[in-house]
Structures are given as structure tokens and as C-alpha cells.
Structure 1
Amino acid sequence: MARILLVDDAGYMRRLIGIMATKGGHEVVGEAETGQTAVELYEKVRPDLVILDILMPDMNGLEALKKIREIDPDARVLMCTASEQSSHVQEALSLGARGYIVKPFTKEIILSTIENALNA
């Protein structure tokens, strides 16, 4: 079981991923709708995994990923993206993301991607 921080500016996406992760035995320990809030929450809750949307207001997911990895170089982060954002995915992977989830997704994809990130 992993303690997960969910970051997406769309509340329904946080709820959807949270429900899927919880059904897979994981615990959602925080939610954020901006990158800045994600960085602040990461420092407070130190989750096992962050699922981080790329496109958000305030601070995008790539900037948040950089700041989280500055706080904790071993942070496990999965990026969540729409399929047309493939160049952002490559940049995220080069910045240390452990993988990515492409919207739309299934519960099986979410859970297998979480497991891969935790075991990488």
C-alpha cells in the first residue's frame, strides 16, 4: 500500500484517480489543484508517490516536479497527461518522473502504473 498525493486542477480527475487507487489498496493522503500547493503538501505529508497533472494553472506539473525533486531527489512521481502532450512527457521523464498515465485510462492502467513506479 502506498500513500499517494493527487495533483490535478480538475476535481473530478482527482476523485476518479483517488477512487481507483483506494480500490487498489492505496491511501490518498492529500490533494492539490495547483503545482504550488502540491509542492507545499509534499513537504508536509511526504507521500510514497505523487500523481501529478502536467497542465495546471499557477505552476505546471513540470515546474512542480522540479521543485519536489529538489526537496526529495528520491521522490516517486507519475505524470498524468493527455495524449497530445508527448513532448512534455519526455521532459518529465528526463526530470526524474517514474512514468506517466495517459488520459483517458482504466483502473488496471492506474494500478499497474502505480506498482511500476513504486518498484522502479
Structure 2
Amino acid sequence: MQIGVETARAVENKRIFVVDDDEIIRAALQFMLHDEYETHEVTSLAEAFTKSETMKPDLVILSEQVVKAAGLPVLAEIPQKMPGAKTLVVVDSLQNGFGKEAQAAGAHGYFVKPLTVEFVRQKVDVLLGRRQGVSIPLTIIG
């Protein structure tokens, strides 16, 4: 068990796959979440699908680039290959509208860069049922 983690949260053992070809973003998200979640850095969707055969994720966080390379239909494919897994997409900007496109294609939500520890943890906690949702105006996160 990690220091400073509530026992109830440690026992839940929620698993997150962070799928991004950018090592820095993967490491940053892993760092933001690892103290309360079992977080795995994964370099590709193919690797995530393979890993999910032995380790079922509760959440898959994908970069905009990974989703664009695979195509938006992959967001509907993920729940079929990883039953019960939710998806979040990390988008570069609100202006390009990709976050909303990703949600329409099946993602459960999205983060907008630059990422902050507080917002990432809050969004993940809400999605995984650890806290009630709080509405944050887009002007604050954008």
C-alpha cells in the first residue's frame, strides 16, 4: 500500500491504462494518478488490447493523436475488447472540437491540455465513481 492513500481506495484497486505515444504525457498522467490508482503507461492501442487480456482496465486514457491515428470508431471498439472500461481522451485544444467528436463517437469525456493534477484527479474520480460530479466552466479549463 502506498503512503497517504486511503485504505478503501487502495482496496478498490481501480486500474488505468494511459495510452499515448508521447512519453512525457504518459509519465505526467501516471504521476498524477499513481498514488490512488494502479496506473500503467502503454505506448499503443495494440499494446493496450494485448495487456487487457490479462489485466482488465477500468479506464483507458488516450491521446488525441492515438485516437486520430486509429480513427474515431476505435472508441466504440474499446468497450468490446475491454468490457467495462471507460475512456477519456486528452485533447490539445477546445478550438478544434475533437473532444466533442470523441464523446459523440463513444468516449466518456475528455481533458484539455494543459493538464492539472487537481482537474485530472477530479475527472477520473467522478468517472470511476469515487466522488460526485462538479460542474467546471469551460473558461476555467480551456
TM range (shorter): 0.7 to 0.9
Cα distance in 2, alignment partners of residues 57 and 65 from structure 1: 8
**1:2-17, aligned counterparts within 5 Å?**
2-17=14-29
Given candidates 112, 115, 121, the residue that maps to 1:105 is 115
Question: 2:97 corresponds to which residue?
Answer: 87
Distance 1:44 1:85, change over 3 A: farther
Residues 14-72 of structure 1, C-alpha deviation per residue, up to 9 Å, x if partnerless?
A: 1110011013x1111x3222222222223331111111112139943734423212224
Aligned-pair CA distance for 1:74? 3.4
Given candidates 56, 70, 76, the residue that maps to 2:80 is 70
One-letter identity of the residue aligned with 2:119: I
Which structure: larger Rg? Answer: 2
Structure with greater contact order relative to length (CA < 8 Å, sep ≥ 6): 1
Distance 1:59 1:34, change over 3 A: farther
Q: Given the alignment of the two structures, is residue 27 of structure 1 paired with residue 27 of structure 2, yes or no?
A: no
Note the residue ranges of structure 1 that are not aligned, 5 or more in a row: none
Secondary structure of the residue that 1:105 maps to in structure 2?
coil
TM-score of the pair, normalised by structure 2: 0.70
Question: 2:125 corresponds to which residue?
Answer: 115
Q: Higher strand fraction: Structure 1 or Structure 2?
A: 1
What is the total number of aligned residue pairs between the two structures? 118
> Would you say the 8 A contact 1:55–1:61 is kept in 2?
no
Same amino acid, percent of matched pairs: 32
Secondary structure of the residue that 2:61 maps to in structure 1?
strand
Aligned-pair CA distance for 1:90? 1.6
TM-score of the pair, normalised by structure 1: 0.81
One-letter identity of the residue aligned with 1:32: V
One-letter identity of the residue aligned with 1:92: A
Note the residue ranges of structure 2 that are not aligned, 5 or more in a row: 1-8, 134-142
Question: 1:36 corresponds to which residue?
Answer: 46
Residues 55-110 of structure 1, C-alpha deviation per residue, up to 9 Å, x if partnerless?
A: 13994373442321222453211111101574321222123212111111110011
